[in-house]
Amino acid sequence: MLGVVNLDKPVGPTSHDMVSLMRRLTGTRRIGHAGTLDPLASGVLPILVGAATRFSAELTGGGKRYDAMIRLGGRSETDDAEGTIEPGDGPIPGRDAVRTALATFVGTFDQVPPAFSARKQGGRTAHRAARSGTPIDLPARSVTIHAIELLAFIPDAEGATLRIDLRCHAGTYVRSLARDLGDRLGSGGYLSALRRTEAAGLRVEDAISPERLETLAANGRLADAVLPVGALLDLPHVSVDPDAARAFANGSPSAIGGGRADGRRAVFAGGELLGIGALRGGVLQPEKVLPPGEAR
């Protein structure tokens, strides 16, 4: 079995829990995912099955979309609702001030990851160091946010809750955005709920629940949930003839003719994905090759 399952992860389980579920249902250890979701988060979790794990970097590295709830008027040690919440020390801003502040985060900028995250430094994992009382001073990383839309602003006696539609590039921490937005507004802020609505070309409207996967597996129809990985690779496609396909499968370069721009390509033969190659001067050099019999 080779491909990607568009899994709708519920709130509660870890991403690794979902990988374990697929390992149990498929009977194979070769299962991964493309982009971790915290236990607090739900939504699209692309599960990579079989040799599709070879394309983890390509499927993880694209754009993502989130439906996020941010609470103003408090701060959290984990930057989300799972940590200890301390009240904020500033006034709660109005809708217009929130919308103006959100706009300042659109673009490319440096963002400090949450202290409770899976980032590593000096061989130490940030969340483990934070829980032991010796948090790591994580360096800022460049991230890109493409768009933020304020969907709702709900004030109350103790603060305000925002709902936003967020489009961003891989590597962006929504928890950090909530924290930094609260700091910029002076009220404090943290992420209270998160649902990923798009990732790796997959949409939450088409996602399958764990319960549905269990039912499909019980009926011998688990393969119905597995999507072809080639359709999800965000790379230009190139189709090659049988001779070039054999060379590619053997890891050998082949001339496929000029007239094409240099760059990485998803390589197909007869409609089946062979892997990823680099095209330079009309010569296709294999980079990632699917094992014989696993092309799809």
Residues serving a catalytic function are 38
Q: Is there a contact between 44 and 145 (Cβ–Cβ < 8 Å)?
A: no
Calculate the dihedral angle through the C-alpha atoms of 117, 121, 122, 126, rounding to the nearest 10 degrees: -20
DSSP one-letter string for 188-222? -EEEEEEEEEEETTEEGGG-B-HHHHHHHHHTT-G
**CA-CA distance, 57 to 35, in Å (whole number)?**
9
Q: Is 211 exposed, middle or buried (0-12, 13-18, 19+ CB in 10 A)?
A: exposed
Helices (H) then strands (E): counts for the chain: 7, 19
Q: Are 193 and 76 in contact (CB under 8 A)?
A: no
Task: List the one residue out of 65, 41, 52 whose CA is nearest residue 168.
Answer: 65
